[in-house]
Amino acid sequence: MLLSSISNISDGVQIIKDDYFDTLGLTSNKYIDERVLVFLNDLKYLHEFEVNSNIACVICVKDIAKIINNKKDIGICVTANPKKLFFEFHNYLFKNTRFYGEKKANKIAKSAKIHPSANIGESNITIGKKTIIEANVTILNNVEIGENVVIRAGTVIGSEGFQFVRTSDEVIPVFSAGGVKIHDNVEIQSNTCIDKGVFKGNTEIGQYTKVDNLVHIAHDVKMGKRCMIVASSLIAGRVRIKDGVWIGASASVSNGISIGNDARISIGSVVTKDVMDNQTVTGNFAIEHKKFIEFIKTIR
């Protein structure tokens, strides 16, 4: 889609250079293998913008446009409030176009066992062979569930992401246009909630991962294979979790964090920085486990 199509929703824009994009995203998201439209309204995010090679178009303020024009050969749209226009454009594409895809009939394997009280959405849902959906589960549109998956009672898959835009006089809700993909042999226990992706991408749970009761997995999380996510954990939006990760009970992981292979997040930890492969972190705010224990010894 051409950047100039944004003129359909606002007259208060100036197209410095037109170009095309495949999806929308944030400057910090380097995992999209398509041409991305982003917004930029603060120079503190300029480094993220510069190192993200997938950015094809940007909505920004006039002063930033001058800087960008000398750094990247991309489409540039100028407006007074880039963030607001960006999400208004996203909502427009979601409601009024087929940019984010079309509705398709559900595909549910005959061998899947779905409890009569489960609530299954009307479109774009796939449920694989021998999957079990227990009582009072809700599966909303744009959810793909693999084979031999177990979804325990009361869980919600594919809920709206917590994404809003605050302006000086209102709060604008942002529609979730993506989906959820749950790979084979996953088990998700009772009263857990998994949000769908905000843009074209999916929130994703890898093979053989096990998710305990009362866990919240927010929009656009990518979780690897064989992970263990223990009860009451909170995984905020856009977190990247590699294979074999253990996240302890009541731990919280801040948005955009990356957690490496076989890392361990101890019980009750609050994670605000990336965690390396095989690292164990502890505390609020979480630090390397051995450092935390040594600190505790000094104050006892």
Determine the Cα–Cα distance for residues 276 and 289; give it in Å rounded to an integer: 12
| Confidence label for 50 from pLDDT (cuts 50, 70 and 90) | confident
CATH 2.160.10.10 intervals, the chain: 107-298
Q: Which long-range CB contacts under 8 A does 102-106 form with residues at least 24 apart?
A: 103/141
Reported confidence tier of residue 249, pLDDT bands at 50, 70, 90: very high
What's the whole-model pTM score? 0.91
**What value, to the nearest 5°, has the Cα angle with vertex 91 and ends 88 and 95?**
140
pLDDT of residue 276: 97
The CATH number of domain 3-96 is 3.40.1390.10: yes
Beta bridge partners of 126: 107, 144
Whether residue 30 is predicted with pLDDT greater than 80 in this model: the reply is: no
**Start-to-end CA span in the chain (Å):** 61
Beta bridge partners of 59: 39, 77
For the stretch 170-200, pLDDT in tens is: 999 999 999 999 999 999 999 999 999 999 8
Least confident of 70-74, 239-243, 253-257: 70-74
211-225: per-residue pLDDT in tens?
999 999 999 999 999
Residue 297 has pLDDT above 90, yes or no: no
Give the chain's radius of gyration (CA, Å): 21
Q: Please, where in the chain does CATH 3.40.1390.10 lie?
A: 3-96
How buried is 299 (Cβ within 10 angstroms: 0-12 exposed, 13-18 middle, 19+ buried)? exposed
pLDDT of residue 17: 92
CA distance 132 to 26: 36
Q: What is the pLDDT of residue 72?
A: 78
How much is the pLDDT for 193?
98
Q: Which of the listed CATH numbers 1.25.40.420, 2.160.10.10, 3.40.640.10, 2.60.40.1080 matches domain 107-298? A: 2.160.10.10
Catalytic residues, by residue number, are 219
pLDDT of residue 37: 95
Question: Closest by alpha carbon to 79, among 177, 9, 175?
Answer: 9
3-state secondary structure of 63: helix
- Percentage of the chain lying above the pLDDT 70 cut: 99
For residue range 250-268, list pLDDT tens digits in order: 999 999 999 999 999 999 9
Average pLDDT, rounded, for the chain: 93
Query: For residues 36 and 50, is the Cβ–Cβ distance under 8 A?
Result: no
- pLDDT range class, residue 41, cuts 50, 70, 90: confident
pLDDT at position 183 is 98
Give residue 296's pLDDT.
Answer: 81
Residue with tokens 């302006």: 167
* pLDDT single digits (tens) 138-162: 999 999 999 999 999 999 999 999 9
